[in-house]
Structure 1
Amino acid sequence: MAKSNALLIGTLSHTRKEWQAISEIANLHEYPDGSREDFLSKCRNGDFDGVVALYRSNDSNKITGNFNDELLDALPKSLKFVCHNGAGYDNVDIAACTKRDISVSSTPVAVNAATADVALFLMLGALRNVTQCFQAARKGNWRGDFKLGHDPKNKILGILGMGGIGSAVATRAKAFGMKIQYHNRSQLPTKEEDGAKYVSFEELLKTSDVLSLNLSLNASTRHIIGKAQFDMMKDGVVVINTARGPLIDEAALVDALKSRKVWTAGLDVFEEEPKIHPGLLEDENVVILPHIGTATFETQRDMELLVLDNLKLSITEGRLITQVPEQKKAKAKV
């Protein structure tokens, strides 16, 4: 029986051995580097004909760009599975993939702990207003223009998006004595809430002392937090974002920081990253990290392994372990 063909776009840092082992069930092809134009040319020339499943590494977007209609049209008609490395997949057009009968997987679960750890790091840093002191000390100015911070204890943490990462954030925040409330499109089963209070989106904004964004980016969530939403929040709210930058209208956030409606913010993601809004860089109340939420050896390996597990199952059984929820819901309706 002829082997299927599998394609790796980008590189692997932690699982080369495991990738090579897939050669027992598939012919392996690689496109480690190049440009979108070159990749499209190779697709159109038939270099990847017969590929059934591809591994889209987390550094491959800078090589091929977004998986949109243009790129999907160029990919071989044999392609049935896109195994994406990343919890977020806004650079893959899921509707366009579904239309072409291409199933897509991502890497939830594998990223939960590391991303939640960074969310807590940012939250504690924002509450204690560490940026100014940190920078002053490194310049030999000791505490600089020191100001008191806030304790997390008894603060209301509002989680927008109580999925795997949001739940992990809630678990960690409880250890600091925080009260947890959340908003999803629908309420979780009581067991999964683990004592958290379900509230409406409006109530979440109006009553949270700290707001943590832990939801995916799509057309309906882009700029879900803007001027109107900041106006609803408590004076002196702290905003944390470890999900996707475009969830927040950054210009509105800068204005809210200037007025002190938002006391401070902890951000790992940005609207036009790697570019960061100058107003955020200039504000010493903001704690900034350069999108390192999953940047640990352990998590990166776990993510790569999960993608490979999806790839293997797609080849051997024609299904995925962690198919994106939009496609799973569409299947359930059929």
Structure 2
Amino acid sequence: MQLTQLNKLSIIVYGRGAYIQDELHQLQKRCNVQFVPEQATREDTIDCFRDLAAHGTHDVVLFLSAVNAAPFDVTLLGCFIPSLQFVCGLGAGFDHVDVKFLTANQVIYANCPNAVADPTATATVMHVLQAVRGASQAEAVVRRGEWRLGLEASPDVRDLTVGIVGMGSIGKLAQRKLDALGFQTIYYNRRRLSPSEEGTARYVSFDELIETADVISLHTPLTSETHHLLSDAEFARMKDGVFIVNTARGAVINEKALVRAMQSGKVSRVGLDVFEREPYVEPYLRASERASLAPHWATHTTRTYRDIERELFANLVSWLKTGRPNTSVNDPLPREVVVGW
């Protein structure tokens, strides 16, 4: 196994953060840290990276912004191969990352899931309550000056079962918050959790969850297996009047199938923070008072921005010290160990 001296390491920091600048500038005294401003377009980012690669090798890329850089694939990062060893990006999702390409080239990718977990779980609870209590409908009636005209009594949360699909860090936090409000919870996960992690939630199969839950809340990453996890066949098997909440990724739901299920009455109301073809939203959803909508907004709190940058930097420090970040998405064999930290 090769050793890399810290003073020979080259780190690219793409985009400007607000909370870890001091740490990065301190690191700059010990290794080569290059700050790259966020580019106007992806094409500009690709050209910028290729120019950097033409003038030297680079071992690490930290993305403090990805708006005009994604996807993280061979077109964007291939110019840094074979020297590239570690890439870290903000946020929990990694559907914009070509993990297979990075793994094949022994590049570790780390995300930052912990910083966004609590605000996303809180947003989940907000969407669940809005959907169950019909908050969007009630607000629309008041704004039209119609007071309670046409509003029906909503279910009581103490009589409802929430089915959580995906019990990672966000799903577990959402479960605890929902439990405090009186909901019963069941969950489906790729593996059953330990009793201490389950809490009061009951583990069930995916089939049982979609057939028995009153509210279905999605917390899975977007992969080839979870793409359109909920579509016409799944909606047909759900209870009549089910509530659907999605704070994960839009394409986990077939949005046109969701519209059909709402039009038929199978789905009573929805709470959606994410959409299949963002920023496009199906016209029916935009017009429907039975849909509570937000623009991929669950993580947008002032504390999140601070926490997520610190989690990214902690991933870098862990990689420098041990060869592994704290929250690695993939697991290629480490090629080099950094010494001198």
- TM-score of the aligned structures, taking structure 1 as reference length: 0.92
* Equivalent residue pairs, number: 326
Aligned-partner SS, 1:153: helix
Q: Distance in 1 between matches of 2:171 and 2:316?
A: 27
Percent of residue pairs bearing the same amino acid type: 35
Q: Distance in 2 between matches of 1:254 and 1:112?
A: 28
1:72-111 equivalence runs, <5 A: 72-111=77-116
Aligned-partner SS, 1:114: helix
Q: Distance in 1 between matches of 2:27 and 2:251?
A: 37
Q: Distance in 2 between matches of 1:78 and 1:306?
A: 24
8 Å CA contact retained: 1:52, 1:315? no
Q: Distance in 1 between matches of 2:81 and 2:99?
A: 17
Q: Distance in 1 between matches of 2:193 and 2:199?
A: 10
Which AA in structure 2 matches 1:269?
A: V
1:187-266 equivalence runs, <5 A: 187-266=192-271
Q: Distance in 2 between matches of 1:91 and 1:272?
A: 14
Aligned-partner SS, 1:64: coil
Q: Distance in 2 between matches of 1:166 and 1:10?
A: 30
1:50 matched residue in structure 2: 57
8 Å CA contact retained: 2:243, 2:269? yes
2:316 matched residue in structure 1: 311
- TM-score of the aligned structures, taking structure 2 as reference length: 0.90
Q: Distance in 1 between matches of 2:29 and 2:241?
A: 58
Aligned-partner SS, 2:114: coil
1:289 matched residue in structure 2: 294
In structure 1, the gaps of 5 or more residues are none
1:132 matched residue in structure 2: 137
**Compared with structure 1, are the counterparts of its residues 44 and 236 closer, same or farther at alpha carbon in structure 2 (3 Å cutoff)?**
same
1:26-65 equivalence runs, <5 A: 26-34=31-39, 35-45=41-51, 46=53, 49-57=56-64, 59-60=65-66, 62-65=67-70
In structure 2, the gaps of 5 or more residues are 334-341
Which AA in structure 1 matches 2:260?
A: D
**Segments ≥4 residues shifted beyond 6 Å:** none
Q: What is the CA distance between 1:81 and its match in structure 2? A: 0.5
CA RMSD in angstroms, aligned pairs only: 1.8
Alignment counterpart, residue 11 of structure 2, candidates 2, 6, 9: 6
Alignment counterpart, residue 116 of structure 1, candidates 114, 118, 121: 121
Q: What is the CA distance between 1:146 and its match in structure 2? A: 2.8
